[in-house]
Amino acid sequence: MKFTFQIPTKVYFEKNCITNHLEIFTYCGSRAAIVTGKHSAKASGALDDVTNVLKNAGIAYEVYDSVENNPSIETVEDITEKVKAFKANFIIGIGGGSPIDASKAIAVLAANEMHAADLFKNDFTKALPIVAIPITSGTGSEVTPYSVLLRKDMETKVSFGNSLTYPAYALLDPGYTVSMNDKTTVSTLIDAFTHVMEGYLAKRSTIFSTMMSLEGMKTFAECIPGLKSKKYDYNFREKAAYVSLMGGLVIAQTGVTLPHGLGYCYTYFHQIPHGIANGLFVREYLKRCETTVKEKVDVVLKLLGENSVDSFGDTLEQLIGKPPKLDQEQIEQYAKLSLLQAGSISNTPFELSEEDIARVWEKQNDHAE
């Protein structure tokens, strides 16, 4: 047996955890930069809870609410300038994965004299402490070191992160996810599912990550009736937040695999949300996995209560629809860009040549609208 396990983030998972744990903000610093998106932090109630706690604790703060979905390096550079001018000594990221990932980049850029493009070298040695407050149930970014940023110069998304970019604290209150609309609820939960599933099948899976993957897939299965009926009661929200947390804990150890690597093209060129983009590859992915790790795919299907990959593929199609039809030029372009995701490809539990990747993209058209 051989494994490593690292999770330096202290996690609080409870209703009202922000107001219940005022002290953690005072441990982090005296000047807070709140990094978030345009609407959701307000709509969810999380921003009000945070600012009330900061006022009570006498912590100065500024709110930067310009993080877009799939944050770009230009956005994080722009916010960093303001964070430096304010002399913030810690960052609070409130949001889905986009604001939390942006927080990690800003935490590094604000602590170092460097350009955003150099983040991807991963050789920085300082970062401001981060408090992560997830309000989607999807990325698990609150417990991972990864920050995924959009690189317009490369026409794809690229991630960075090292042990310094784990948030110091993760405050999960499933109540903040209630304001998500149907599409974001589905997309983010499918993302969380792909994390636990991909981590389970990944070459880098460990005995520890497997434990959390199994728990995550079992709990995701309990969410499927709610996803189908669109009845999102508190019990559903709590379970979804738990799957998302499991997903983050898993991929922090294992990394992601093919669906994540290829899904970026659907997001970049077709504006398909991250979770749906990954989900669209799951049917073909599991079929390919059956050729090398069939016993593991059987476990996935059993946990999901499905009797074949195609029956699960049909369940997913009912929830997220079909992939867009691509022409030959797009297939060739996406296959080429997919090769940039070398980490995800090498972690996939079957061998993939350049031609194989092009074939995966062609195969997607068999299921297209």
* Residues in contact with Fe ion by the rule CB under 5 A: 191
In whole angstroms, give the CA distance from residue 298 to residue 309. Answer: 9
- Measure CA 66 to chain center: 19
Among 9, 28, 33, 157, binds ligand NAP (CB under 6 A): 157
The reply on whether position 232 binds ligand NAP by CB under 6 A is no
The reply on whether position 216 binds ligand NAP by CB under 6 A is no
Among 188, 205, 206, 344, binds ligand NAP (CB under 6 A): 188
Contact 255, 344 (CB under 8 A): yes
- The letter for the amino acid at 246 is M
Q: Cβ of residue 121: shortest distance to Fe ion, in angstroms?
A: 23
Q: Which is nearer to ligand NAP, 67 or 110 (CB)?
A: 67
Q: Which is nearer to ligand NAP, 104 or 301 (CB)?
A: 104
Smallest CA-to-CA distance from 103 within 139, 135, 58, 133 is with 133
The reply on whether position 296 binds ligand NAP by CB under 6 A is no
Contact 227, 277 (CB under 8 A): no
Rounded alpha-carbon distances, angstroms, from residue 147 to 27, 101, 189, 253: 24, 4, 19, 15
Find the binding residues for ligand NAP in span 63-82 (CB under 6 A): 69-70
Residue 262, burial from CB neighbour count under 10 angstroms (0-12, 13-18, 19+):
buried
The reply on whether position 198 binds ligand NAP by CB under 6 A is no
In whole angstroms, give the CA distance from residue 221 to residue 301. Answer: 10
In whole angstroms, give the CA distance from residue 276 to residue 282. Answer: 10
The reply on whether position 148 binds ligand NAP by CB under 6 A is yes
Among 43, 214, 319, 352, binds ligand NAP (CB under 6 A): 43
Among 9, 89, 103, 139, binds ligand NAP (CB under 6 A): 139
The binding site for ligand NAP (CB under 6 A) comprises 37-40, 43-44, 69-70, 95-98, 101, 135-136, 138-141, 144, 146-148, 157, 176-177, 179-180, 184, 188, 191, 274-275
